[in-house]
Amino acid sequence: MPNIARTHVPEAELHAYCDGELSPSQRVEIAEHLLGCLICRAQHAEVAELRARVTTLLAIASPRQIGRRVVPPARRPRRASRMMIAAAVAIIGGGAWLLVPPSDGERRPTQLATSLGLVDFFRLGHGDADLAALRDRQLAMAMRTIAAPQVQAGRAAPQFLRPLLIGTGTEVDPVVTSEWTFATMDDALKAANGRLARVADIPVRLVRIHPSAAGGRPTFLIRQELADGRFVWVVEGLEGDVAPVEQLLQASGIAMSAATRTRPDYVGTGAQTTITVRMVRVVGYLPVDSLNVLAQKLVVR
């Protein structure tokens, strides 16, 4: 049984979390905990920063250039002279005895050499000893050449705010059924008589519309993206229409801000006038406090 009421995440575990060294289930457990725990979120941010700093420091302690002493591929020789063999031995130095015996390594050096366009070497009629020495030399050169000179500044610092997304769940709009249709923002505004609530200052990524059961104004689901890549949804609809949606949301475990009532809309004229009240909530995989703060930034436009 998962330990729901776990205490704070130990620091070492946060390191392992940042390093991607936990099992998927452990990851999810910690991600969920981080969503709800301010203390651990702060700790997580500290660990992430520490980790990034260490990477930067270690990157300083690196050779400025790796692989600069690349030996250029040899020209195709007519035959192996004694000097060349001597040179080969000199180049490989103490490493020569470590090479694979010919029976085992017959193909590998050729592969290496082929990759460098040096295969001609092996087709020439050399004595076995010459060939072995030459092959060794080729191999030594090949090994130096294979890795193109490139300096990496250590591991790239991963995006730490993203792991808070649990799986792909947050990418999918909550409680969406086939009755929800996609709409452009313009269409949605038209359907909403130009008055549609959304959180100010963050971009709208997707709009969905659900027809009203009462035949009035449809219900809107607006997906907006926060600066850190997480999504929130603004649910807006007539009181009676949003109630079932809210029930579904509640059941799905997603958090909702306190409902905001908009000013009443007066539809029709005279005795035919009906007053409709729209309810707006901000929904997301975030602490309720955060959603309430976002709800205060709702604007109707």
Partner 1 sequence: MAFDLEGLYRTTYDSVVRFLYRKVWDADRAEDLAQEVFMRALAHQPEKPRSWVFAVAANIARDEARAAFRRRKHLVLISHEPSAAPAANDDVEEAMDHAEQEAEVKRALAMLTPRDREVLLLWDAGLSYPEIAEQTQLALGAVGTTLARARQRVVEAHDSMEGQRAEHRANARS
Binding positions for partner 1, rule: CB under 8 A: 11-13, 15-16, 19, 21, 47, 50-51, 53-55, 57-58, 60-67, 69, 92, 94-95, 98-100, 105, 108, 111-112, 115, 139-140, 143-144, 146-147, 150-152, 154-155
Q: Which is nearer to partner 1, 146 or 185 (CB)?
A: 146
Q: CA neighbours within 13 Å on the CB side: how many for 138?
A: 25
| Residue among 49 and 228 whose Cβ is closer to partner 1 | 49
Would you call 278 helix, strand, or coil by DSSP?
Answer: strand
Both tokens assigned to 56: 């930067």
Extended beta strands in 77-180, E state = none
Of the two residues 92 and 255, which places its CB atom closer to partner 1 in the complex? 92
In whole angstroms, what is the distance from residue 224 CA to residue 234 CA? 8
Q: Burial of 231 by CB count in 10 Å (0-12 exposed, 13-18 middle, 19+ buried)?
A: buried
Closer Cβ to partner 1, 155 or 261, answer by number: 155
Residue number, 51 or 278, with CB nearest to partner 1: 51
In angstroms, give the least distance from the CB of 128 to partner 1.
19
Smallest gap, in angstroms, from Cβ of residue 82 to partner 1? 23
Which residue, 104 or 186, is less far from partner 1 as judged by CB?
Answer: 104
In the complex, the smallest distance separating the C-beta of residue 111 from partner 1, rounded to whole angstroms, is: 7
- Give the integer Cα–Cα distance in Å for 221 and 217: 13
Least spacing, CB of residue 114 vs partner 1, in Å: 10
Q: Do 43 and 9 form a contact (C-beta atoms < 8 A)?
A: yes
Query: What SS3 class is residue 197?
Result: strand
Q: How far is the CB of 26 from partner 1 (least distance, A)?
A: 11
Nearer to partner 1, 93 or 270 (CB): 93
Closer residue to partner 1 in complex, CB, 82/107: 107
Per-residue DSSP letter, 156: P
- In angstroms, what is the minimal distance from the CB of 91 to partner 1? 10
Please report where in the chains the tokens 């260490």 appear, as a residue: 54
Rounded to 10 degrees, what is the CA torsion of 11, 15, 21, 25? 50
Q: Minimum Å distance from CB 156 to partner 1?
A: 12
CB contact at 8 A, 121 and 113 = yes
List of residues 6+ apart from 179 with CB closer than 8 A:
210, 211
301 and 280 Cβ atoms separated by less than 8 Å? no
State the nearest-atom distance from the C-beta of 123 to partner 1, in Å.
Answer: 21
